[in-house]
Amino acid sequence: MQKVYLDSAATTQPRPEVIAKMQDALANFYGNPSSTHSFGRAAKTQIEKARKTIAKQLNASPSEIIFTSGGTEADNMILTSAVIDLGVKHIVTSKIEHHAVLHTVEALQVTYGIKVSYVNLDEFGSPDIEDLKSILQTTAEKTLVSLMHVNNEIGNMIDIDAFAHLCKEYQVYFHSDTVQSIGHWEWDLSKTPVDFLTAAAHKFHGPKGVGFAFIRKNIPLKPMIHGGEQERGFRAGTEPFHNIVGLETAFILAYENLEEERNYVTELKTYFMDRLQKEIPGVKFNGYSGDNSKSTYTLVNVCLPLSPEQGALLLFQLDLKGISCSKGSACQSGSDSGSHVLNEILSKDDLDKPSIRFSFSKFNTKEELDYVIACLMEYIEK
C-alpha cells in the first residue's frame, strides 16, 4: 500500500533542516532565555535573531513580532485584547472564518455585549468589499474588521491590500488570520496597512506549538498571559526556544525557495484538477479553489458525484488505501454538523455529496496524485 499525504492545510511535514536545527537547540541551547548567565544569553540571542529574521522578511519592526503557541492563541489574544484594551464595541467578520476567530467573537459577544456584523459573501464564498464598505459607513462604534487572507477549507484569497486600505480609510482596526498564507505568499507590511496578523509554523514545514502575532507598533494592547517579562512583557512564560528556532528555519527556507516551490506545487494542483475533470465527470471545485487566480496554490476542495451513502465511507476508504486528506478544517474533525464554510456556499444537493480537501506541498509528486485518482475512480465505479 502506498502512503500519500495530501493534508498539508491541516499541518505540513517538517523540513529535515528544521528537525536538525531543533535537535541542536535542545542539545546545546538549554538555558532559560531569561537567565543572565551565558547559557541564558545564548538562547535569548537566538530568539531575538529569529524575531529580526521574521520582521525583515515582512518589512516590519522586530518589536511588532510576538511569539505565541500558534495561530489560535494569536487570534484569541488579538481579538480579546482589542475589546478589553482598545474599547472595540463592534467586530465585523465573515461566517467562513476559522473557528479560532468565530468562536472568539461569539464569546466576546456574550461576555462583553459587543455588536457583531457579518460581511456578505459572493456565491463562491469570498467577502464582498462593497458590503463591508456599507457596514463601515453606517457604524458609529469603535470597530475591528477580521477577515482571513486565505480560507483554510476552500482556498479563497481576498485582496488584502484593498480590504486593509478600506479599513484605514474608515479608521477601523483590521485583523487578518494569515495562518494559511504566511510562508506561502510575499508580504510588505510597510505598504499593506493591517494592524494585526497571525501565523503558525506548522503550516510552512515548521514545528507545531509555535507561531507569532504581528501587532502594529503604538497600538496599546496589554498582556493576556500574566507572569514574567518575556516577549516584551506581552506574553509571559518561558519561551520554547527550540520551537522558535525551528520556526525561524522553516520561515527562512519557505521564502528562500518560495518561487521554485510555488511553481512546483501550482503545477501539481493544476495537474490534479485536470485529471479529475478528465476521469470523473461531474466533479466540481468548491469556492474559488479551482481558479488559481483567486485561490491559493496549496489546496483544492473537490465535490465528488457520489451518493450520501457512498460519501459517508469515502474518507475511510481512502485512509485504507494510505491516502490522507480531509473534509475540511482539522479543528472540527469531531463535529457532526459538517463544514460551516461549505454550508454557507453549497446547494442542498451538493451538500449531500462528499466534498474533500486535498492540500499539497513540495513533498508530493504527480505519481502520488495518479495513485489518488486511481483509488477515487475505483471507489466511484464500485
Q: Over the stretch 151-167, which tens digit does the pLDDT of each residue have?
A: 999 999 999 999 999 99
pLDDT at 230: 86
Whether the predicted pLDDT of 330 surpasses 70: no
Q: What is the pLDDT of residue 1?
A: 75
Q: Which CATH number fits domain 4-12+258-380: 1.20.120.1200, 3.40.50.460, 3.40.50.2000, 3.90.1150.10?
A: 3.90.1150.10
Q: Are 128 and 157 in contact (CB under 8 A)?
A: no
pLDDT in tens, 272-308: 999 999 999 999 999 999 999 999 999 999 999 999 9
Q: Which of the residues are catalytic?
A: 331
Q: Which amino acid is at 125?
A: G
In sequence order, the β-bridge partners of residue 118 are 93
Task: Record the pTM.
Answer: 0.95
- Residues 36-49 pLDDT 10s: 999 999 999 999 99
For 264-299, give one letter per residue: b (16+ CB within 10 A) or e. Answer: bbeebbeebbebbeeebeebbbbbbbbebebbbbbb
Query: What is the topology classification, in CATH, of domain 16-256?
Result: Aspartate Aminotransferase; domain 2 (3.40.640)
3-class secondary structure, 360: coil
Locate the domains of the chain by residue range: 4-12+258-380, 16-256
Point out the least confidently predicted range of 20-24, 74-78, 206-210, 218-222.
Answer: 218-222
